[in-house]
Amino acid sequence: MHEPGPFPRTHFSPERFPVNYDDKSLETLALIKAQTSGVTSATGITGIDLGDLVSLIPVNTPFYDSIARKAATDGAKFCQWRVLTDITNLQSDPGTAFDYAAPLAQLNEMDVSAPYGKLGFGYTVTRDAINFAKGYADAHAIAVMNSLNQYRIGAERKLLGGQVFALGTPATPTVVQSDTGGNIAASTAVNVKVAARTLSNFNYGGSTAASAQGSVTTSTVAAATHSATATVTSIPGAVAYDWFVAGFYYTTTTVNKVTITAVPTANQAVPNIPGIYGTAPSSVPGSDTSAKATDFNGLLATLAGDYATGGATGLVSRGSGTNSGAAFQSLGGAAFTVSGQSIPELDALNTTIFNKIQASPSRYLVSSQEATSISKLLLSSAGGGTTFLTPDASGRNNITAGGYIGSYVNKAAGGVPVPLVVLPHLAPGTLIAASDSGAAFAGANIANTLEMRQLDDVQDYQYATNRASGAGGGPRNDGEVFSTSALINRAPVGFGVIQDIAAA
């Protein structure tokens, strides 16, 4: 008879079959001992040293960080304002006869507008990815942060180089040959076309349409060491030029000239220039892609473009409207020079700006190349002081070598020091003298010369997502970090640009 109850005693009862755990442990150890003689590094019994997740994406955005941001009060496709332009040289003589009325002061009012553009980067992170990263990293937060970092980099680039209007087709390049410096055979035709890039093109691709063809034939000197140099008229606002030789992409330069040492038979690789878009043009461009409808006009565009006339909106290509007043000068592929403790090219730009606004720029925006060139020239010149000894006891055995020019004195404005600000996303070969205050203009009503007007401030927008077939269609978070913005430049007349600067 079994004992009553739903679960009677069976043959699994420990009372009937007691387990000797000590014996079983010994059996298990004996089995392991038979399989391996000891625990070594080869057994695979190791921990996992899982280090922190690191990001090696540089997010250095000094220009974006320096621009004041202001929310728009009304929804619109453009932000608009009115400007009273300088017509001092057109005013009447103020000398007035007694008992007569003084002449009326003249005003010239202009309507100005800037289009809004959307900036953003999206992300997708699946629920499974979040689960797999649990305890190690917050996959969703990382996806959002990566998009935010790329947004900041993109905003920096577009604030400097975005452009809505066409840059303009370059002139026909001038090509001259040399009997030395290359590997081109004698009596060889060198046919050259060129296209110009905005800073937005420099970062993300595209250009103007290519120019007409310029040509030269190498001389009959037998030695096959000929080369050719092509030069094109500088285009205000262009930061780089794509050169095409014999119908193939040859290279890109950040000056308006190039030396050709060989006639290519295929498209060449993109040169190693900081910030340049990594994909080479596949053919000679027949249409203009310098204007981007998805951009807003960045700083260089507000200087190079003309104010539209005749009821049009926004900025238009240079030469088709009213000039912005910004000063442009080209070095034609030459480097800065030095005279005593001065750089004549900077002095000329400062003088031009002072003659227009009777004030000094507040900062020079430069690439690392120009910052290095200015320091190199001034600290190595005969009139410059290049050695600084600390006055303490260790001064002569603990000297810090090298030097950097952080500011340049504007002699035209009475000795005002102007700081150099290095921008990692400004193309080499370009320097911008920026005026960040309207203090020079009486009653100017300018708090910030430059302002980022936000129709929709930067945010993380979460999409509602639907179930979809295929990988990635399951539970997930889709979103993007974006803003709807425009750059306002209230006084481009206070700015100046030096282009086509070679490294010193």
Q: What is the 3-state secondary structure (H, E, C) of 213-276?
A: CEEEECCCCCCCCEEEEEECCCCCCCCEEEEEECCEEEEEECCCEEEECCCCCCCCCCCCCCCC
Q: Tell me, what DSSP letter sits at residue 373?
A: H
pLDDT band for 9, please (50, 70, 90 cuts). very low
If you average pLDDT over residues 461-480, what whole number do you get?
85
Which is more confidently placed, 437 or 164?
Answer: 164
Average pLDDT over residues 219-240: 93
d(CA 484, CA 455): 5
Select from 501, 256, 198, 486 the least CA-distant residue to 364: 501
- What's the pLDDT score for residue 7? 41
pLDDT grade for 8, boundaries at 50, 70 and 90 = very low
Mean pLDDT for 17-44 is 58
Which of 200-209, 336-345, 433-442 is least confident?
433-442
Whole-model pTM: value is 0.85
- Residue 380: its pLDDT value, please? 83
Strands 78-84 and 109-115: antiparallel
Distances in whole angstroms, Cα of residue 212 to Cα of each of 141, 174, 176: 51, 11, 16
pLDDT score of 69: 87
Q: CA 235 from chain center: how many Å?
A: 19
CA distance 202 to 160: 12
pLDDT reading at 373 higher than 90: yes
Does residue 160 contact residue 425 with C-beta atoms inside 8 Å? Answer: yes
Handedness of CA 275, 277, 278, 280 (dihedral sign): negative
Q: Quick one: which of 233, 159, 152, 168 has its CA closest to 199?
A: 159
Q: Is 253 exposed, middle or buried (0-12, 13-18, 19+ CB in 10 A)?
A: buried
**499/281 Cα distance (integer angstroms):** 23
- The CATH code of domain 62-92+106-165+293-499 reads 3.90.1690
| 362 pLDDT above the threshold of 50 | yes
Name the nearest CA neighbour of 297 among 453, 492, 165: 165
Q: Quick one: average pLDDT of 364-380?
A: 94
Chain centroid offset of residue 231 CA: 25
User: Is residue 36 predicted with pLDDT exceeding 90?
Assistant: no
How many CA atoms are closer than 13 Å to the CA of 260, on its beta-carbon side? Answer: 36
Q: pLDDT by residue (tens digit) across 71-108?
A: 888 888 888 776 665 555 667 777 778 888 877 676 66
Domain boundaries, the chain: 62-92+106-165+293-499, 167-290
Residue 1 has pLDDT above 50, yes or no: no
| CA separation for the pair 261, 250 (Å, rounded) | 10
User: Would you say 402 and 378 are in contact if contact means Cβ atoms under 8 Å apart?
Assistant: no
290 neighbors 207 (Cβ within 8 angstroms):
yes
Average pLDDT over residues 327-334: 96
Q: Is the pLDDT of residue 159 over 80?
A: yes
Burial of 497 (0-12, 13-18, 19+ CB in 10 A): buried
Is the pLDDT reported for residue 22 higher than 50? yes
Q: Which residue has the tokens 């003589």?
A: 93
Q: What is the mean pLDDT of residues 16-39?
A: 56
pLDDT confidence bin for 31, thresholds 50/70/90: low
The reported pLDDT for the residue numbered 83 is 62
Q: What is the per-residue pLDDT for 340?
A: 82
* Burial class of 26 by CB neighbour count within 10 A (0 to 12, 13 to 18, 19+): exposed
Question: Lowest-confidence range among 76-85, 117-126, 213-222?
Answer: 76-85
Average pLDDT on 115-125 reads: 91
